[in-house]
Amino acid sequence: EDQVTQSPEALRLQEGESSSLNCSYTVSGLRGLFWYRQDPGKGPEFLFTLYSAGEEKEKERLKATLTKKESFLHITAPKPEDSATYLCAVRRGTSGSARQLTFGSGTQLTVLP
Amino acid sequence: DAGVIQSPRHEVTEMGQEVTLRCKPISGHDYLFWYRQTMMRGLELLIYFNNNVPIDDSGMPEDRFSAKMPNASFSTLKIQPSEPRDSAVYFCASSKGQADTEAFFGQGTRLTVV
């Protein structure tokens, strides 16, 4: 059974204080690790997909990295508008239900001005 | 494109009533997913379709839940009869083509069953 564990559950940062969010996963044949951002009252918004260990992707103040067991979302010099819940999800590479995403419980990030 | 469109945004109903949630996927997307989000269980996949055909409904909690996709631009999730424990936010998402592509989510329907 696929498992995705995110830590910490909640994180409070001062504006400009860089940090990292962790996503540990167990999946049969990873076919993509996805990061989403979710604002209150809205649906998850896609950020990144990572496919293989060693891969990195960046978008503004965010950088996602991937190893064989975990992914990190690094936030550099965050701003209050980065406050949101960040969700990690995996897709397995086997046949059958290969399209579904298994989500972690998320990290709720608050950036204080 | 307007993205994935869900309706209604909010639904309050009494226990035992039938509830129908609606979704219009992004045009050209051939996969459609229904998810449920609660504080206790997070985001859970209920069912997904490929080219309007249900592929995996193993996440549907019980027979009170049913989903249809009569055409490429419309899907419904129905709960009959509804129960208080069905209260959650229901999301529809769609994706296109290859297995590796990301899914795009709608704004969700917040369902409250009293």
Give how far A72 is from chain B: nearest CA, Å.
Answer: 18
Residue in B56, B91, B104 nearest the CB of A46: B104
Q: Does B4 touch chain A (CB under 8 A)?
A: yes
* Residues comprising chain A, all counted: 113
Residue at B47: amino acid letter: I
Instruction: Please judge whether B107 and A43 are an interchain contact, meaning their C-beta atoms are less than 8 angstroms apart.
Output: yes
pLDDT in tens, chain B (114 residues): 689 999 999 999 999 999 999 999 999 999 999 999 999 999 999 999 999 999 989 899 889 999 999 999 999 999 999 999 999 999 999 998 755 678 899 999 999 999
What is d(CA B21, CA B2) in angstroms, rounded to the nearest whole number? Answer: 18
What is d(CA B112, CA B110) in angstroms, rounded to the nearest whole number? Answer: 7
What is d(CA A111, CA B40) in angstroms, rounded to the nearest whole number? Answer: 24
